Structures are given as C-alpha cells and as structure tokens.
Amino acid sequence: VLIISIIFVGIFAYLAEMAFRSLRFVGSGKKSKDSKGSGAIILIAIVVTAIAYLLSMLLRFGISRKREYLADAGAAEMTKRPYALASALRKISGDPYIEAVESRDVAQLFINNPTPSAHKSASWDNLFATHPPIEKRIELLEQFV
C-alpha cells in the first residue's frame, strides 16, 4: 500500500509539473478570437497546480509519518523490548541540538521532528510534520506490552 501511495504521489507531482511547464506555450501562437481565454486558462492551471502540489506534499508527509509508526512497530516486535525503545525516544526528544537544525531538507533524516512550530496546534502541526509526535509514538510502543 505504501509503495502504491508513493508512486501515486510521484505521478501526481510529475503531472502538475508538466502542466505548469506547458503554460509557457499557451497563447504563444497567432492572436485570434480563440486566444482571448488563455489568461483564464493560465490562471486556472496555476491554481490547480498549486493545489496539486499542496496535496502531494501532505500525502508525502502522511506517508512518512505512517512509515515511522510501522518502523516503531517492527522494532518493538524484533527486539521484544518496546519499553527500551520508548526510553530511547524519550532521551532523543530531550536533545536540545535537534531544535537547532533549521534546514527542512534534512528533516526526514531525524527520528524526532526537528522543526517544531512556535504555536502548538495539534491538527496543523501533525498535518505538516514529517514525523509523528514523540509522545504518541511512546504511547503506541507502551501498548505492545
């Protein structure tokens, strides 16, 4: 299911990119009566491309969070020590150097989300986070016992 979702995100982003790049050629021919609506077509294409890009990003973040949960479950099953994993997550979440990272390019390499927002709104923070909240991961690991 995750592989199909990742392929879907890639295809979706590719189609949005191709639509955006093809906008250069809209209305570049002779001026005629048919080209009057080309401005509206360009505007609609830009809006659709922006929405498609946002949806593909949200889907990618959601897949990343789901994979973190699956990795935690697999690690708990493999080690048979979910409390040790929960303890390690608690220690990692207390690391002050994680919050010093400012680049979103390396955000997915971390175990904890390195870019916390200034205001804590559960729905928005979780929607745009590359990793699930540590507290929720620990809570799920403690249910394995």
Q: Quick: pLDDT tens for 45-79.
A: 778 878 877 887 888 888 889 989 999 999 999 99
So what's the pLDDT on residue 116? 56
Could you list the residue range(s) of the whole structural domain that residue 64 is in? 2-142
Map residue 130 onto helix, strand or coil. coil
Of 138 and 93, more confident:
138
Q: Is the pLDDT of residue 99 over 80?
A: no
Residue partners of 38: CB distance under 8 A and separation at least 6: 26, 27
**Nearest Cα to Cα of residue 140 among 63, 77, 95:** 77
Q: Is the pLDDT of residue 34 over 60?
A: no
Based on the structure, what is the number of domains in the chain? 1
Give one word for 27, left, alpha or beta, with left for phi > 0 and alpha for psi -120 to 50: left
Classify burial at 102, counting beta carbons within 10 Å of its beta carbon; exposed 0-12, middle 13-18, buried 19 or more: exposed
Is the separation of the CB atoms in 66 and 9 below 8 Å?
Answer: no
So what's the pLDDT on residue 77? 92
**Nearest Cα to Cα of residue 56 among 110, 14, 104:** 14
